[in-house]
Structure 1
Amino acid sequence: MGKIFRIGIIGSGGIAGEHVRAYKRIEDVEIVGVSDILPGRADEFIKRWDLQQAKGFDDHRQMLEMELDGVSICTPNVAHYQTTIDSLRAGKHVMLEKPMSVTLEQAVEMVQVSKQTGKMLNIGFQPRYDPNMSLIKDLVQKGQLGKVYYVETGGGRRRGMPGGTFIRQDIAGAGAMADIGCYSLDLALNTLGYPKPLTVSAYTSNYFGTNPKYHPEAARFDVEDFGVAIVRFENDLVLNFKTSWAMHMDTLGATMFLGTDAGMKVLPGSKGPWGGVWDGNVGAVSIFHDIQGHHTESIIPLIDHKLSVFEEKIKDFVRALREGGPAPIPGEQILRNQAILDGILRSSETKREVEIHIPDIG
């Protein structure tokens, strides 16, 4: 066996276990460090996952003094910024869980430091690794729809509100938009080639999360559980975006791409109270077009696969480590996703349309 890639884990919450599970399936990877701000928690995590070569830390900066090829950042959202900056400046490549950051300003600095240090900043949007997501992008990028002028996307759960750190603005930064909304945005924007957003007009609410009838932690709930926005992009493109953790409805509808030559409808694969969001599954894809003057619907056969999209995400990061980059899902691209989320929250708070300004990263 050749080089062993040494990985550190920052944050030992629930999602960290999924990272470990995926890394342990890759032969040339070894997890050598775990950090968590809660004393003793990193050591408990190491024992639970039988990470015999790993050392536990209460401070991620101490762990970053180790010889590491990369780190997975699995902290609550509010800690993404500082742990990423510290890791990049310590010379480590970064696999960062979504959402990228809490504010646009933080995301901009994270990308700038990545460029300054020459270290990867890779953002964890695992739904991209569903081959059917690639199929959807391929259809659009090859011009099957003509010019796309309108996109509608989002995901809604009948009941699917998390608790704990997800519902506190001081820790999560945002609610449903940051948790599941960023996936829907990535589905649409990655398919379109990540166009530049210009303005956003948005509305958010939290009628369900703050009601004890629907959430056991209602008194602590101070993020949005529903949001909707109209986003304008360059090249005369409009996006209708909506996301909900809870609602009195079975679905917020399909993702739709309207083009001058054809339209495409994409249904999410997940169903039930916690279903209806883009978590890596595609339910059905249809193309609506005209053939010799007849309105025609063509069903696009889905790719049958057994892939774990989460494992594919981690494998792709390790592949980039082996090959020296670039980042599979680079921070400078997801910066536009973060800019939209930032604009949504600003627009909702001011109750008016706001402009989106993304500095030139260089």
Structure 2
Amino acid sequence: MSKTIRIGIIGTGGIARAHVAGYRTMDNVDIVAVADIVSGKAEQFIQAEQLGTALAFTDHRRLLELDLDGVSICTPNFAHHETTVDALNVGKHVLVEKPMSVTLEQSIDMVRASKKNDKMLTVGFQPRYDPNMEIVRSFVQSGELGKVYYVETGGGRRRGMPGGTFIRKDLAGAGAMADIGCYSLDMALNALGYPKPLTVSAFTSNYFGANPKYHSEADKFDVEDFGVAMVRLEGDIVLNYKISWAMHMDTLGATMFLGTDAGLKVTPAGTGPWSGVWDGKVGSIKLYHDVNKHHTESPIPIIEHSINLFNAKVQDFVHAIEQGGPAPIPGEDILYNQAIIDGVLRSAELKREVDIHIPQL
């Protein structure tokens, strides 16, 4: 009989409900405690989600005093760092929602806490569990493209600006770059094997979010709703990264990997004003190559599946706890995402290229 995995949940926003649903697919998981800084919210969440005897706390540190195997961090972005480090320091494995943190320094601190305490830190990028994402990675890693020298990724919603904590820099750290752009970065960097970012030259704006014509909370909107960056990666690779919450355009284009022997074009699934970004499934994959000296385009068959990507993410975390690791989506990798976002914001503010420095961990 398998050991019962005891889980705590910190933060009771909408994303926490998805975590509960994922844990409920596993018979050997017990959600034993919930914490939320707002008085009464943890109790309400426990009742709404029918979590039975789960304990409620307003202070996450009280929750962390319990005998827990793992913790889901479902707080607003600004609290990811403190709650994650606190959990790691008392010997709990952590699944933290994306984006990893608000600042690069916080992400570095989180990875160091994971290493110091020999506890797993995994970050919530559920699109990784689409088997078509593995097809993309396999093509890039196989060498069939030759040397990959240029990657273009990102995406954009014609209209898809959130509100609340997402649009305040003090709570979210960044806007579209952190909210949906981090998915694009993970897709590209994971396919490449997570090469180290070296420099960034970027531009950002919030012409839509800060305009009451387009957003009901324009007076509170102080993050970017659009950003574009040229990122130099080790291995002499250039990454063109672009993202938008709102724009007068249908798309910012597909993700492309250009290699010396072939190229790969990948488009996201979905239609409508909130689609066009890499937080869901793959729509199409096409290989551009030469056959007998003729330009050839080969569609790569998409794997049709009914995988609940979010459930798969939560299940993988539990399996990693059971098996003693490694982290399914390690913080050491996603640290590079945060380094790029940090570089984008610095470059945009300074209006020049900036270096990216990641210390030894």
- Shorter-chain TM-score bucket reads over 0.9
**Aligned mates of 1:132, 1:101 — CA distance in 2:** 27
Is 1:241–2:241 an aligned residue pair? yes
- The CA deviation string for residues 117-139 of structure 1, in whole angstroms up to 9 with x for no partner, is 01100001110000000010001
For 2:93 and 2:81, the matched residues in 1 are separated by 14
| Structure 2 residue identity aligned to 1:183 | Y
2:133 maps to 1:158: no
**Paired letter, 1:341:** I
Count of equivalent residues: 361
Secondary structure in 2 aligned to 1:105? Answer: helix
Mapping for residues 61-210 of structure 1, pairs under 5 Å: 61-210=61-210
Shift of 1:108: 0.6
Query: 1:251: which partner in 2?
Result: 251
Task: Name the CA distance, whole Å, in 2 between partners of 1:201 and 1:102.
Answer: 20
The code of the aligned residue for 2:51 comes to L
User: What is the Cα deviation at residue 53 of structure 1?
Assistant: 2.5
Shift of 1:269: 0.5
* Paired-residue identity, %: 68
Which letter does structure 2 place at the counterpart of 1:233? Answer: L
Q: Secondary structure at the match of 1:72?
A: strand
Partner of 1:223: 223
Q: Deviations over 1:282-306 (max 9, x none)?
A: 1100000111111100000011111
Q: Which residue of 2 aligns with 1:338?
A: 338
Structure 2 residue identity aligned to 1:354: V
Q: 2:255 is aligned with what amino acid?
A: T
1:333 Cα deviation from its structure 2 partner: 1.0
1:279 pairs with 2:279 = yes
| Aligned position for 1:10 | 10
Output aligned runs, 1:310-329, within 5 Å: 310-329=310-329
Offset at residue 330 of structure 1 (A):
0.6
Aligned to 2:36: 36
Other structure's SS at 2:264 match? strand
- Structure 1 residue 270 displacement after superposition: 1.8
Q: CA deviation at 1:2?
A: 2.6
- Secondary structure of 2:30's aligned partner: strand
Amino acid at match of 2:194: Y
Counterpart amino acid of 1:50? Q
Question: Could you tell me whether the CA contact under 8 Å between 1:154 and 1:252 is conserved in 2?
Answer: yes
Say if 1:154 and 1:241, in contact at 8 Å, map to a contact too.
yes
Q: Deviations over 1:243-264 (max 9, x none)?
A: 0000000000000000000001
TM-score (norm 2): 0.99
Using the alignment, how far apart are the partners of 2:271 and 2:348 within structure 1? 29
8 Å contact 1:36–1:60 — kept in the other structure?
yes
User: What secondary structure sits across from 1:360 in the alignment?
Assistant: coil
Cα contact 1:128–1:280 (8 A) shared by 2: no
For residues 188 and 267 of structure 2, the distance between their equivalents in structure 1, rounded to whole angstroms, comes to 13
What value does the CA root-mean-square deviation take over the aligned residues? 0.6
Task: Provide the rounded CA distance (Å) in 1 between the counterparts of 2:55 and 2:151.
Answer: 47
- The C-alpha deviation readout for 1:67-96, integer Å capped at 9, x for no partner, is 100000000000000000100011100000
Distance 2:164 2:338 in 1: 23
CA distance in 2, matches of 1:110, 1:275: 32
Task: Tell me the secondary structure at the aligned position of residue 83 of structure 1.
Answer: helix
Q: Tell me, what secondary structure is at the counterpart of 1:207?
A: coil
Cα distance in 2 between the residues matched to 1:3 and 1:283: 39
Partner of 1:45: 45
Q: Distance in 2 between matches of 1:322 and 1:30?
A: 14
After TM superposition, give the deviation of residue 36 of structure 1 in Å: 0.2
Shift in Å at residue 279 of structure 1? 1.2
| Alpha-carbon offset, residue 346 of structure 1 | 0.5
The secondary structure found in structure 2 opposite 1:100 is coil
Contact 1:129 1:280 in 2 (8 A): no
Q: Which runs of 5+ in 1 are unaligned?
A: none
Distance (Å, rounded) in 1 between the aligned partners of 2:134 and 2:288: 19
> Paired residue for 1:306?
306
The 4+ residue runs of structure 1 with deviation greater than 3 A are none
CA contact (8 A) 1:156 1:252 kept: yes
State the distance in 1 between where 2:280 and 2:319 align.
Answer: 21
Residues 40-73 of structure 1 show CA distances to partners (whole Å, capped at 9, x for unaligned) of 0000000000000311100000000011000000
On the 8 A contact 1:288/1:298 being kept in 2, the answer is yes
